[in-house]
Each structure stands twice: as structure tokens, then as C-alpha cells.
Amino acid sequence: MFDVTVSDRRPPTAIGSLLILVLSLAFGMVVIGLIFFLCGANPIFAFKRIFIGSFGSFYGFKETVTKAIPLILIASGLALAFRAKFWNIGAEGQLLMGAVFGTWVGLNWGPMLPSWLMIPLMFLAGFVGGAIWGVIPAILKLRFAINEVIATLMLNYICSEFLTLLIIGPWKSPKKYGFPYTDNLPDSAVLYLLPGSRIHVTTLIVALSAALILTFVIYQTRFGYEVRVIGDNPDAAKYAGINFTRTTVLIMLISGGMAGLAGVGEVAGIHHYLSYPGSISSGYGFTAIIVAWLAKLNPLYAVFSGLFFAGILVGGDAIQISLGLPAATVNIVNGILLICLIMGDFFTKNNLRFRATERI
């Protein structure tokens, strides 16, 4: 047998932490491969399909970029919230609320306004919608000490039912053969797609600039410094005179707003009308949590980890079809990768020393 000693270590170098990250992911892949194997699928074949379906083919890569857009947007906002240890698990609901607000503006004002005015207005409305839905749990936490994990989750369910209520009730289109969809957005409210793809360029640009801006905010501004202090040491934040309430509210306005932007992108870029919550967002709000974690809560890195997980979503669809695996497979992959990532964090913080124990 052996005895394990755990001790603090110096923060690893950039290469060291990248190595730990890659090893964690590789370990996760091995576990996932094992699951494929147990289900009677050839793991090498499955991983090959995932890769070809996501990055290894032109069609797949276009889809990967398309799905990376909401992930990058949401994960950038989550990175900010998670840094302050505000566990916003409600991005899914915030995305939907953004979609609701954006659609309302698009349907009501779209026919009257030109595109150059309409599209910024829709994004603004989406940001406001997401921000409102995001700031509610912040207030609930600050005023009533309600755990934000539960509050944000409950608001997910509430928003999902609310959206369904709208599309089967007052917003239901008479032109959709009885399906619970809204009318199509007018042309001025529809986003430009890169020809031959579903990549809505406007949202992509918004996502990339938002990631850049938020990185700057986190590392270079007083607000970002306050966010980090609140997360690392709330007591110190108190003594440093940081306004906890104001900072938390601001964090959640931004974090919710970012998810709201993603909601507008999905409606105006891809669907063009509001439909069931499950088809507006295929769990982006939850996948983005892993994206943010893989990015070490740095929005700039979230661009890359967003692409990576978008690839898993798209590749996952590909193997569902070719191997006949259920849709939930992607959840397994996500869950395992996230567990491996947080386990990997252990090795960036600690040294392990194995010693043979003396037998008596």
C-alpha cells in the first residue's frame, strides 16, 4: 500500500495548467469511450464521428460556429458571476426572457422600422429582458438571503412555463396551422446569415466583442477588481468598502443580459419566430456553465471553450443519428467532462506525494 500526502503547491505555469486541463479532458474522454464501449459502440469510431461531425467537415464546422455563438455569450456573463461566487444557474431562463423581449419588439415595431435601427433595438430589448430575469435572484439573495442556485433554477422553470403560456395563448399565430408558434419576425428584424450556413454574423460579432470587453472589465477595471475580491474574500471586500449590493446587482444585470442577447440571436438568427422553450435553447444555459469553467472564468478563453463544447453538441447530434444513441448522451458527456475538469483543479492547487507505507 501507499500513503498519500497532500500539500499546497505554487500556482502552475501557463503550460502546466494547460497540461492539467488537457489531461483532465483526456481522462474524461477515456471514461466516455468506456461508456460507448459498454453500450456496444466502437469508441474510436464514435469519437471519429464526433470529430468529423463537428470540426472535421465544412458543414459540421459551420454548425459548430453557429452553436458556439450563444455559448460564448452566456459563458462570458457566467464567468463574471462565478468570479464573484454568485452561482447563476439561471442562464437558460434569462436566455428565454431575452428571446421573449426581443420577439415582442421585433413583432410590434419591426414592420415600421428599418433594419439598422430594428436589430440594435431587439438586442437591447433582449439584454433588458435577460437582465431583469437575472437581477431578481440577486435581489432575492441580497434582501432575503435566498440561495441563488435555487432561485435561478426556479426562475428557469417559471420562465419556461411563461413562454409556453405566451405561445399557446395571446401570441399564438393564426397562420401556423394550429402550432404553438408566434408569427414570423418581419424581414427588418431577421439577422443576416453567412451564405450557405446558419451563422448569424451580427450575434457572432456581438459575442466576440462582449467576450473581449468583459475580459477587459474583469482584469482592468475597478468594478472587475471588486468582483474578484468579493469572490475570493467577501470579508476583505467588506473592509475594503466595496458596495456588495451594488456590485452584485450589476454583476447579475450583465450576466443575465448576456444570456438575453443569446436569446435574441437564436430567435432572430435561426428560428425567426418564438416556439417551445426546448427548441429555442437546447440547454445552452447549462452547457455554458461548463464552458465558463473550462475557460477558467476568463471570457476570452470562453471563445475557445465555447467552440469546443459547441463541437461536442454538434458531434453529439451526429453520433445520435449514426449510432442510434439517445439525445441524453450529450448530457452524459458534459457531466463527465465537468467532473473531470473540477477534479483536475485539485492538481493545480495541490502536490501529491506517494510514499510506501511501512508494514508492521
Partner 1 sequence: MEEVILSILQRTLVAGTPLLIATVGEIICERSGVLNLGVEGMMAVGAVTAFIVAHHTGNPWLGLCVAIAAGMLLAWLHAFASVSLQSNQVVSGLALTMLGLGLAGFLGKPYVGRPLAVNMNPLPIPLLCELPVLGALLFNQSPFFYIALILAIAAWFVLEHTLPGIRIRSAGENPRATEAQGVNVSRIRYLAVVVGGGFAGLAGAHLSLVYSRSWIEGMTAGRGWIVIALTIFALWNPLRAIVGAFLFGGIFVLQYILQPLGIAPNFLAMLPYLVTLLVLLLVGLRDRRRLNAPAMLAEPYRREDR
Chain positions contacting partner 1, by CB under 8 A: 5-7, 87, 89, 140, 143-147, 149-151, 153-155, 157-158, 161-162, 164-165, 168-169, 286, 289-290, 293, 325-336, 338-339, 342-343, 345-346, 349
In angstroms, what is the minimal distance from the CB of 337 to partner 1? Answer: 8
In angstroms, what is the minimal distance from the CB of 323 to partner 1? Answer: 12
> Is the Cβ of residue 119 or residue 330 nearer to partner 1 in the bound state?
330
Q: Is 124 exposed, middle or buried (0-12, 13-18, 19+ CB in 10 A)?
A: middle
The C-alpha cell that represents 322 in the structure block? 449514426
> Is the Cβ of residue 48 or residue 345 nearer to partner 1 in the bound state?
345
In angstroms, what is the minimal distance from the CB of 233 to partner 1? Answer: 14
- The torsion angle over the Cα atoms of residues 69, 72, 78 and 80, rounded to 10 degrees, is -130
> Is the Cβ of residue 86 or residue 101 nearer to partner 1 in the bound state?
86
CB 353 within 8 A of CB 45: no
Residues in the chain: 360
In angstroms, what is the minimal distance from the CB of 178 to partner 1? Answer: 17
> Is the Cβ of residue 104 or residue 293 nearer to partner 1 in the bound state?
293
Backbone angles phi and psi of 147, in degrees to 5: -55, 125
Handedness of CA 265, 154, 75, 62 (dihedral sign): negative
- Coil, strand, or helix at residue 357? coil
> Is the Cβ of residue 194 or residue 342 nearer to partner 1 in the bound state?
342
In angstroms, what is the minimal distance from the CB of 7 to partner 1? Answer: 5
In angstroms, what is the minimal distance from the CB of 324 to partner 1? Answer: 9
Q: How far apart are CA 271 and CA 70, in angstroms?
A: 14
> Is the Cβ of residue 150 or residue 213 nearer to partner 1 in the bound state?
150
Q: Is 285 exposed, middle or buried (0-12, 13-18, 19+ CB in 10 A)?
A: buried
Alpha-carbon separation of residue 46 from 25, 85, 191 (angstroms): 16, 37, 35
> Is the Cβ of residue 37 or residue 59 nearer to partner 1 in the bound state?
37
| Bridge partner residues of 355 (DSSP) | 3
In angstroms, what is the minimal distance from the CB of 53 to partner 1? Answer: 19
Strand (E) positions, 90-231? none
CB 78 within 8 A of CB 288: yes
> In this structure, which amino acid lies at residue 56?
G
Q: How far apart are CA 117 and CA 203, in angstroms?
A: 15
> Is the Cβ of residue 26 or residue 150 nearer to partner 1 in the bound state?
150
Q: Tell which residue, 358, 350, 359, has the closest CA to residue 5.
A: 350
Q: How far apart are CA 357 and CA 328, in angstroms?
A: 44
In angstroms, what is the minimal distance from the CB of 147 to partner 1? Answer: 7
Q: How far apart are CA 115 and CA 261, in angstroms?
A: 17
In angstroms, what is the minimal distance from the CB of 351 to partner 1? Answer: 10
> Is the Cβ of residue 32 or residue 254 nearer to partner 1 in the bound state?
32
